[in-house]
Amino acid sequence: MSGLALLRRFARFLYFLLLLPILISSTLSSSPPPPLHASSTPPVAATFKVGFILDMSSATGKISRTVARMAADDFYAHHPNSTNRIVLLPRDSSRDVVNAAAAGTRTSPPRLPSFVTPPTTLELLNADEAHAILGPQTSVEAPFVADLGAKARIPVVSFSATSPAVSPARNPYFVRAAPSDAAQVRAIAAIVQAFDWRRVVAVYEDSDYGTALVPFLVDAFDEVGASVPYRCVLSPSATDDHISAELYRLKTLQTRVFVVHVTSPLAIRLFPLIRSADMMSDGFVWILTEGLTSQLGSIDPPTLVPDTMQGVLGLKPYIRWSHRLQDFKRRWRREFLKENADSDITELSNFGIWAYDAVWALAAAAERLGSVVGPDFDMPEKNGATDFSKLGESRTGPKLLDYINQTEFEGLGGRIHLDNRELNVTAYQIVNVNGEKAREIGFWTARHGLTRELNWSSTSAYSATREGLLPVIWPGYSTAVPKGWTTPTSGRTLRIAVPGPVEPGFQSFLNVEHDPATNVTWASGFVIDVFEAAVRQLPYALLFEYEPYRNANGTSGGDYNTLVKQVYNKVSSMIPTLRRPLLRFLWRFDSCERKIPMGRL
């Protein structure tokens, strides 16, 4: 190679070195070329408004408010390309029917990411055009709101209104994302049957929540041979003095088994008064229905349960444990304490779990509905924001209702499937309050009855015996099973007329002696032995006294016809007789409290 050629190559190399910084700078400052297949931007989700009616001051309201926000966030984290996104419009009902349905005052709860300022219910339907209502929280509010939903043709989905007073069968747009109270009565009756209690007193709240369950309870007890001789009805606004007076009346009765069906605000006042009346002691039985049992871990103040409910039995729908549920409970505690720093609530109730699943059911149904663009309501002319007669009608409500009812998924509470717009429950968990918490003592299922453990593959027959439950610690820290009754401190005594004098040859069958000094009558013989043996078999105390049916001079007081007439005239209650030679007892209906059947031995 010649020297000239080497010089030319060296010159090109220097030229390249001089251009290299310029090329690098140009490359870095220029925009990158477009990709061959540009990624599509997720569509902007349409706003899907859902009214949210809560009692913001209650434990369930506070829990559900946090749960609903987290449920919406979780759903859209799992479905990022959703065409609709529900926006919750919270409304504070303050447990008032009118506030829940119509003209409540606007309130502003703590600022939450998924919430906006809460309007009234009619404003939700008319001004805001909510596509659905989540709630209301209480059974007292539910019938009125359900009627408004039916008129506006929008679904009303409640996760905590459990009373049979409002049902999907009678309210076409009402969806109960929780079990009905009526579903629990067979489980309660099984407990009563297992311990052989024959009489039960119902203590319930004078409201739609309380009164609607009583007929179902009475029928269930009747099927297991138990009765409800007395009902204690308590108004939610009753004074403590009135409640105490009712409790002392219960204490004078002979029945010692009580089923309590009240809301938590009334329970918070009731149970301290029960303890003050010394009725949370040995011999008493208290059974809580599922609404109160489900809230034992979230009642405020938290000292109420350990201080006033020791030995109480309760039952609630069984929700199986899962890693997903456990993880959510941990996340919920952190979020709840951020929003309620002063609260002592640390346990997520069943109502909170059902609230989570209700939000998912609504969100899933809204997604199936597709994007809703433009006005959804057909509004009448001259519509007023508080005019009940001029509510608009939703165009998408009927289809949304169908999608909600068809929704099926694995929720926090297990497999979610609404049967005729109502959540079914397969098992009830039975608990016994011992210490600061309620411990599990067994389960009830319609197939197997009472069992200590759940075994769905078991082929055993239905059974309702106490062996199906773990040992119970009763009120008064007693382990002895209460008999369910005691000798009443008041009430009428059964007066038993004993005919006489009895001839010596028959005194082994019936004899009567009277001491004029003490005015005490003793009766003996086979007839009396049979009668007193029968009395001892009764599942309640029966006060009675013998009185001789004879004249002052010791002669017979009359024939048998005259003697029987003494019962008709209410002079005596019962007559033991000897005839043909059948032993007969003539009984009469002594009072409304104690019905004495006519029988033959």
Say what the pLDDT of residue 408 is.
Answer: 93
**pLDDT score recorded for residue 133:** 94
Strands in 285-288's sheet, in edge-to-edge order, are 231-234, 201-205, 257-261, 285-288, 313-317, 428-434, 437-445, 449-451
What tens digit of pLDDT does each residue of 413-442 get? 999 999 899 999 999 999 999 988 899 999
Q: How many domains does the chain have?
A: 3
pLDDT at 542 over 60: yes
593 vs 600: CA distance, rounded Å: 22
- Report pLDDT for 30: 44
Cβ neighbours for 517, distance < 8 A, ≥ 6 positions apart: none
Cβ–Cβ < 8 Å for 57, 297: no
Task: Specify whether 85 is located in the same domain as 232.
Answer: no
Is 149 within a domain?
Answer: yes
Residue 159 CA to residue 170 CA, distance in Å, equals 18
Residue 14 above 80 pLDDT? Answer: no
Among the candidates 417, 435, 456, a domain finishes at 417
Which of 540, 502, 538 is closest to 523 using CA atoms?
Answer: 502
pLDDT of residue 107: 36
> CA-CA distance, 224 to 189, in Å (whole number)?
7
Asked whether residue 484 is assigned to any structural domain, the reply reads no
What distance lies between CA 464 and its chain's CA centroid?
Answer: 22
- Note whether 431 and 316 are within 8 A (CB): yes
Residue 140 domain flag: yes
573 alpha carbon, distance to own chain's centre: 43
Distances (CA, A) of 63 to 161, 195, 324, 352, 527: 15, 36, 18, 6, 65
Containing 314, the helix (H) or strand (E) segment is: strand 313-317
Burial track 137-170 (b if 16+ CB lie within 10 A, e otherwise): bbbbbbbbbbbbbbebbbbbbbbbbbbbbbbbee
> 392 lies in a domain?
yes
pLDDT, residue 239, reads 96
Quick one: pLDDT at residue 514?
74
Q: The domain that contains 555 carries what CATH number?
A: 3.40.190
Alpha-carbon separation of residue 446 from 178, 314, 426, 434 (angstroms): 18, 17, 8, 27
Are 73 and 173 in a shared domain? yes
Q: What pLDDT was estimated at residue 498? A: 80
Q: What's the rounded mean pLDDT across residues 311-340?
A: 96
Say yes or no: 244 and 349 in one domain.
no
Residues 186 and 165 in one domain: no
Instruction: Please report whether residue 114 resides in a domain.
Output: yes
User: Is the C-alpha dihedral spanning 459, 460, 461, 463 positive or negative?
Assistant: negative
Give the pLDDT of residue 374: 58
Least confident interval from 243-247, 259-263, 587-591: 587-591
Do 433 and 422 contact (CB within 8 A), yes or no? Answer: no
38 lies in a domain? no
Asked if residue 300 lies in contact with residue 265, where contact means CB atoms within 8 angstroms, the answer is no
d(CA 534, CA 329): 55
**Residue 94's pLDDT is what?**
79
User: Could you tell me which residues are beta bridge partners of residue 88?
Assistant: 50, 115
Asked whether residue 151 falls in the same domain as residue 64, the answer is yes
- Shared-domain flag, residues 150 and 52: yes
Asked whether residue 541 carries a pLDDT value surpassing 70, the answer given is: no
Mean model confidence pLDDT for the chain: 82
Q: Which tokens is 399 given? A: 């289809």
Beta bridge partners of residue 459, listed in sequence order: none
| Pairwise CA distance, residues 563 & 4, whole Å | 156
For residue range 347-366, list pLDDT tens digits in order: 999 999 999 999 999 999 99
Confidence of residue 224 (pLDDT cuts 50, 70, 90): very high
pLDDT at 592 over 50: no
pLDDT of amino acid 540? 62
C-alpha distances out from residue 209 to 101, 437, 486, 561, Å: 17, 25, 31, 53
More confident residue, 115 or 75: 75
195 with 265, same domain: the answer is yes
pLDDT for the residue 72: 97
Return the structure tokens found at 347. 């346990």
Question: Is 431 found in the same domain as 346?
Answer: no
Question: Which residues span the domain enclosing 304?
Answer: 182-318+426-468
Does 553 reside within a domain? Answer: yes
For 100-119, letters b (16+ CB in 10 Å) and e give bbbebeeeebeeeebbeebb
pLDDT per position as a tens digit, 432-480: 999 888 999 999 999 999 999 999 888 999 999 999 999 999 999 999 9
Is residue 447 included in any domain, yes or no? yes
- Give the CA angle between residues 245, 251, 253 to the nearest 5°: 115
Residues 263 and 333 in one domain: no
pLDDT of residue 457: 87
Q: Which of 166, 165, 163 has the alpha carbon at shortest distance from 180? A: 163
**Is there a single domain that holds both residue 173 and residue 134?**
yes
Q: Note the pLDDT tens digit of each residue in 552-579.
A: 666 666 666 776 776 666 555 555 544 4
The region of weakest confidence among 216-225, 261-270, 504-513 is: 504-513
pLDDT band at 42 (very low <50, low <70, confident <90, very high): low
What pLDDT is attached to residue 530?
85
Alpha-carbon distance of 531 to 380, in angstroms, equals 76
Same domain, 566 and 590: yes
Whether residues 305 and 437 share a domain: the answer is: yes
Measured from the Cβ of residue 174, the count of other Cβ atoms closer than 10 Å reads 26
> Taking every pair of C-alpha atoms in the chain, what is the biggest distance, in angstroms?
168
Q: How far apart are CA 233 and CA 201, in angstroms?
A: 11
For the domain that residue 128 is a member of, what is the CATH number? 3.40.50.2300
